């Protein structure tokens, strides 16, 4: 919903875009603040995302096979079960470094299925290795800050400084349209495709007109 609103607001004036962004952000914070209260009252340790990831990977780890190597680094190799032509891969886990060769542990901050299997082999609680930012209390603290509404510009306090426009900032010595430095996203890609399709339709229409002029019926 948040991304959809941002995409729909793309063609609106800048002021309207800022207002929509503020409203959606306030709604985003309010929903998550309420959800964090529910999670705390239920005695939940982690956010819903972390809880689901950890549980799903824990169930998946049951089918893995582990071979322990270095007890100091608490390293081991984990072989996944072959299922429907997939799997039977070997991954290396080093609990002392909190890393797995699959990369998921480092990416999500949650012990993957391979890491959880190795934790069980070394009698280590895998839950203790989940990153602190998934803690519900940290989650609640993040979204507990309230956003304040903004009144109309005519009611703003008068600033004690003068805004001076620097005309040299947008000055370009190159001919043609200046290039933007903004990182493009999927909205830009759709607009680019739409322009290209419109150009192709225009070229096709012009070619048809030329053919009709050269070879009248």
Confidence of residue 208 (pLDDT cuts 50, 70, 90): low
Rounded to an integer, the average pLDDT of 89-98 is 94
- Domain of 109? 48-129
Same structural domain for residues 68 and 30? Answer: no
Same structural domain for residues 94 and 74? Answer: yes
Query: Residue 71: which of 105, 106, 110, 121 has the closest Cα?
Result: 121
Same structural domain for residues 52 and 118? Answer: yes
pTM assigned to the model? 0.65
- Residue 177 included in any domain: no
Same structural domain for residues 82 and 18? Answer: no
Rounded to an integer, the average pLDDT of 41-62 is 95
The total domain count for the chain is 2
pLDDT at 182 over 70: no
Of residues 24 and 189, which shows the higher confidence score? 24
Mean pLDDT of the chain: 83
Could you tell me which residues come within 8 angstroms of residue 131 by beta carbon, excluding any fewer than 6 positions away?
Answer: 109, 110
- Residue 164 included in any domain: no
CB 113 within 8 A of CB 64: yes
Q: Give the domain-ending residue among 129, 159, 184.
A: 129
pLDDT of residue 181: 65
Which range is most confident: 112-116, 164-168, 197-201?
112-116
Confidence of residue 122 (pLDDT cuts 50, 70, 90): very high
Same structural domain for residues 54 and 125? Answer: yes
Same structural domain for residues 62 and 105? Answer: yes
Specify the DSSP element, H or E, that contains 65. strand 65-68
Confidence of residue 190 (pLDDT cuts 50, 70, 90): low
Same structural domain for residues 16 and 56? Answer: no
- DSSP for 80-131 reads PPPBTTB---EEEEEGGGTEETTSHHHHHSS--HHHHHHHHHTT--GGGGS-
């Amino acid at each position: 919903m948040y991304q959809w609103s941002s995409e729909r607001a793309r063609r609106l004036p800048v002021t309207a875009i800022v207002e929509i962004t503020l409203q959606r952000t306030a709604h985003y914070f309010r929903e998550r603040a309420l959800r964090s209260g529910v999670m705390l009252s239920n005695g939940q340790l982690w956010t819903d995302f972390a809880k689901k990831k950890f549980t799903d990977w824990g169930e998946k780890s049951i089918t893995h096979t582990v071979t322990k190597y270095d007890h100091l680094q608490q390293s081991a190799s984990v072989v996944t079960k072959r299922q429907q032509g997939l799997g039977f891969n070997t991954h290396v886990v080093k609990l002392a470094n909190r890393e797995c060769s699959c990369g998921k542990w480092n990416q999500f901050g949650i012990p993957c299925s391979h890491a959880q299997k190795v934790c069980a082999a070394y009698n280590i609680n895998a839950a203790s290795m989940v990153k602190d930012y998934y803690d519900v209390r940290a989650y609640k603290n993040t979204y507990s800050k309230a956003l304040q509404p903004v009144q109309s510009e005519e009611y703003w306090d008068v600033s004690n400084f003068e805004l001076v426009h620097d005309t040299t900032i947008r000055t370009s010595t190159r001919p043609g349209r200046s290039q933007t430095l903004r990182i493009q996203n999927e909205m830009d890609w759709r607009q680019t495709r739409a322009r290209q399709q419109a150009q192709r339709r225009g070229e096709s229409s012009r070619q048809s007109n030329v053919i009709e002029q050269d070879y009248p019926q």
